[in-house]
């Protein structure tokens, strides 16, 4: 057993899902300020959904040491918030009769490739800025949709990993019990 029952936690900055969610947030703020009426509820809701996606990854990561259940729930909240945001972008395109890119369209594949090409440690909003800030709203919305899909894919993988980690390691109460039994056993041997 290690030197305690509270494992190392945090480190969300290193999670690819967090970095992608941060890009989605930054892009959404820019998009909404440029293409969505600032006084509309949609403007605020889209930014809040993007923020919730990012912030819940942070909160879940920080809670992971003492509650795997909370980490899983908050990661799922992040995923749900980004799904809500995805619907907002699709609605933006639909009500304006703009085209939604097919998953394997040449444009979507280009955006995916751009994400793979950039070094995973330095990918940021700046990676996409030249595309996002120079294209019409239809293209920008589709680029952000691609980024949301990438983030959701990563969060789905993260949730599966968290589930498996919980099954392997248990939660805080199980670690506390193991630590207490190990301490008792050590004390008896001394």
Write down the domain spans for the chain.
Answer: 12-100+109-116+126-184
CB neighbour class for 68 (10 Å; exposed up to 12, middle 13-18, buried from 19) = buried
Task: Report whether pLDDT(64) > 80.
Answer: no
State the helix-helix crossing angle for 125-132 and 16-35, rounded to 10 degrees.
30
Least confident of 41-45, 161-165, 185-189: 185-189
The model carries a pTM of 0.85
Q: Would you say 180 and 110 are in contact if contact means Cβ atoms under 8 Å apart? A: no
pLDDT digits (tens, 9 = 90+) for 115-124: 876 545 678 8
pLDDT digits (tens, 9 = 90+) for 175-187: 666 666 767 778 7
**Fold classified for 12-100+109-116+126-184:** de novo design (two linked rop proteins) (1.20.1440)
């Amino acid at each position: 057993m290690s030197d305690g029952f509270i494992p190392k936690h945090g480190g969300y900055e290193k999670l690819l899902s967090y970095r992608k969610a941060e890009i989605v947030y930054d892009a959404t703020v820019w998009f909404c300020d440029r293409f969505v009426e600032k006084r509309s509820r949609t403007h605020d809701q889209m930014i809040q959904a993007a923020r919730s996606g990012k912030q819940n990854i942070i909160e879940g990561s920080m809670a992971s040491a003492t509650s795997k259940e909370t980490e899983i729930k908050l990661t799922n909240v992040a995923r749900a918030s980004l799904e809500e945001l995805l619907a907002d972008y699709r609605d933006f395109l639909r009500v304006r009769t703009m085209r939604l890119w097919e998953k394997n369209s040449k444009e979507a594949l280009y955006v995916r490739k751009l994400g793979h090409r950039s070094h995973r440690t330095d990918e940021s909003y700046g990676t996409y800025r030249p595309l996002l800030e120079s294209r019409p709203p239809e293209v920008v919305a589709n680029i952000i949709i691609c980024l949301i899909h990438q983030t959701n894919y990563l969060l789905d993988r993260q949730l599966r990993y968290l589930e498996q980690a919980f099954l392997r390691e248990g939660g805080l109460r199980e670690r506390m019990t193991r630590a207490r039994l190990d301490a008792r056993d050590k004390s008896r041997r001394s």
